[in-house]
């Protein structure tokens, strides 16, 4: 038997129902917030993620799925959506359009070669937004509140952790101070952090192993290394969130795993769950990828992690509106025409495809959770009538054939 690849999952049954529900809520919210739906390729030139997500990030260092195509080009299955959207923004010169900022959203599959576990898949789905072209803290607040409101609509009242990484200069000053502070404690750090101190010292702050150690608790605080401009920008974001009634907790150890961020970063979680989503401002990525200087902010949420939480108390049962039954072979053709009519009128309907007798059709209708049974028999049909049974109350009525659709629509 051939099994699915490690870290990949079939989305079926209840999970698939929840997946669909998430999609519906996301599309509806993106529509009212006026974000435009976009799709970018599932794979891109490897160079995009090296320069975009960053050579020093864990993702590029050890989590990308790379392959060489038949013409010898190195490609990478996308580990996230931001870099592709930025590539498209530059390639299609979207910065030249009349509407600014450009506000886009996506819903799609991502790939990371992670150690698989609950909520850590190798193939997973993200929805997210990118806004390109605005430096106004108002849009930081819009992005955060949009992500919070989508999860609230899905039944998850999430916690927001937020931090300010400051400008590149602020961060460079902070990095120097942090490295100076940590150098004498190098041997107390985990193996990964001993490497991080050279390539990405900020990541040591939110390391799962070292993050809680006392040496890190008394490390210099990034918020003490911000310029006045950066402080006032962050203060504005928080003020706007207050107005929107979005609760948050400032967490100066929140760094995020992608290299492109500056200024505001944030993460969403539910109780003690793994992060459900996260994002932040990235004002230099467009330039870094050879486009014009463009301030951007965005977020992405992990669909499988949301499903894992929602399925705990999801109990939607399977139902259909109508089950169409034919007593004899002669009525089958009529039943089939009626089935199409019902469906074309938006009524979810089913019939029997196994050529079973009436008793077995009743059982099948129950298995499908049919609310109404439409039973075609030749005696009634000869009088222009159709027998309709309410499958809950068991009441039966005879409805004129040409009124059947209106009748069903009326009782649903
Ligand atoms: P990220 O924090 O790497 O950010 O991923 C966002 C979300 O994707 C995570 O919070 C998590 O829910 C989900 N996720 C990530 N990795 C996995 C995995 N292996 N298995 C299941 N779910 C996972 C980004 O990707 C940025 N592009 C977000 C962003 C957009 N920043 C600015 N714009």
- Number of the ligand 1 atom closest to the C-alpha atom of 268: 10
- Number of the ligand 1 atom closest to the C-alpha atom of 83: 27
Residue nearest to atom 23 of ligand 1 (CA): 302
pTM attached to this predicted model: 0.93
Q: pLDDT at residue 316 above 80?
A: no
Residue nearest to atom 18 of ligand 1 (CA): 120
> For residues 268 and 278, is the Cβ–Cβ distance under 8 A?
yes
State what percent of residues in the chain have pLDDT above 90: 84
Query: What pLDDT score does 315 carry?
Result: 80
Cis peptide, bond prior to residue 101, ω within 30 of zero: yes
CB atoms within 10 A of CB 37: 12
Query: What pLDDT score does 379 carry?
Result: 95
Residue nearest to atom 2 of ligand 1 (CA): 278
- d(Cα 285, Cα 161) in Å, to the nearest integer? 23
Query: What pLDDT score does 198 carry?
Result: 86
Spacing, Cα 41 to ligand 1 middle (Å) = 17
Q: If you write DSSP's letter for every residue of 292-304 in order, what string do you get?
A: ----EEEEEEEHH
Task: Tell whether ligand 1 has an atom less than 6 A from the beta carbon of residue 52.
Answer: no
Query: What pLDDT score does 187 carry?
Result: 87
Q: Please report where in the chains the tokens 């003490």 appear, as a residue.
A: 224
Q: pLDDT at residue 215 above 90?
A: no
Half-sphere exposure of 20 (CA within 13 A, CB side): 7
Spacing, Cα 361 to ligand 1 middle (Å) = 47
Query: What pLDDT score does 128 carry?
Result: 98
Q: What is the CA radius of gyration of the chain?
A: 28
Mean pLDDT of the chain: 95
Q: pLDDT at residue 200 above 90?
A: no
Read off the pLDDT of residues 65-119 as tens digits, 9 standing for 90 and up: 999 999 999 999 999 999 999 999 999 999 999 999 999 999 999 999 999 988 9
> For residues 71 and 60, is the Cβ–Cβ distance under 8 A?
no
């Amino acid at each position: 038997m051939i099994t699915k690849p490690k870290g990949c999952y079939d989305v079926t049954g209840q999970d698939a129902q929840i997946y669909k529900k998430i999609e519906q809520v996301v599309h509806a919210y993106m529509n009212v917030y006026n974000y435009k739906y976009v799709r970018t390729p599932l794979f891109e030139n490897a160079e995009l993620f090296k320069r975009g997500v960053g050579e020093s990030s864990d993702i590029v260092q050890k989590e990308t799925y790379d392959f060489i195509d038949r013409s010898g080009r190195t490609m990478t299955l996308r580990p996230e959506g931001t870099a592709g959207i930025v590539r498209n923004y530059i390639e299609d010169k979207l910065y030249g359009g009349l509407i600014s900022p450009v506000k886009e959203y996506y819903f799609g599959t991502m790939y990371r070669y992670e150690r698989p576990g609950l909520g850590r898949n190798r193939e997973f789905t993200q929805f997210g937004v990118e806004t390109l072209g605005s430096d106004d803290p108002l849009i930081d607040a819009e992005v955060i509140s949009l992500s919070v409101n989508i999860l609230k609509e899905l039944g998850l009242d999430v916690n927001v952790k937020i931090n300010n990484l400051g400008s590149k200069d602020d961060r460079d000053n902070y990095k120097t101070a942090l490295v100076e502070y940590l150098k004498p404690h190098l041997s107390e750090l985990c193996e990964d952090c001993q490497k991080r101190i050279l390539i990405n010292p900020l990541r040591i702050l939110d390391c799962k192993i070292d993050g809680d150690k006392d040496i890190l608790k008394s490390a210099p605080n990034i918020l003490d290394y911000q310029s006045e401009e950066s402080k006032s920008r962050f203060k504005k974001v928080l003020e706007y969130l207050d107005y929107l009634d979005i609760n948050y907790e400032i967490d100066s150890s929140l760094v995020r795993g992608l290299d492109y961020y500056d200024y505001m970063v944030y993460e969403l979680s539910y109780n003690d769950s793994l992060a459900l989503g996260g994002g932040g401002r990235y004002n230099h990525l467009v330039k870094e990828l050879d486009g014009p200087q463009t301030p951007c902010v965005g977020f992405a949420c992990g669909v499988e992690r949301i499903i894992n939480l929602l399925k705990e108390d999801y109990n939607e049962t399977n139902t259909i509106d109508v089950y169409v039954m034919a007593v004899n072979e002669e009525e089958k053709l009529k039943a089939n025409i009626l089935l199409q009519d019902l469906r074309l009128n938006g009524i979810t309907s089913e019939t029997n495809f196994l050529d079973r007798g009436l008793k077995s059709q009743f059982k099948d209708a129950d298995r499908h959770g049919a609310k109404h049974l439409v039973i075609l028999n030749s005696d009634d049909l000869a009088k222009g009538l159709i027998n309709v049974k309410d499958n809950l109350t068991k009441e039966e009525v005879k409805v004129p054939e040409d009124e059947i659709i209106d009748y069903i629509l009326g009782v649903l």
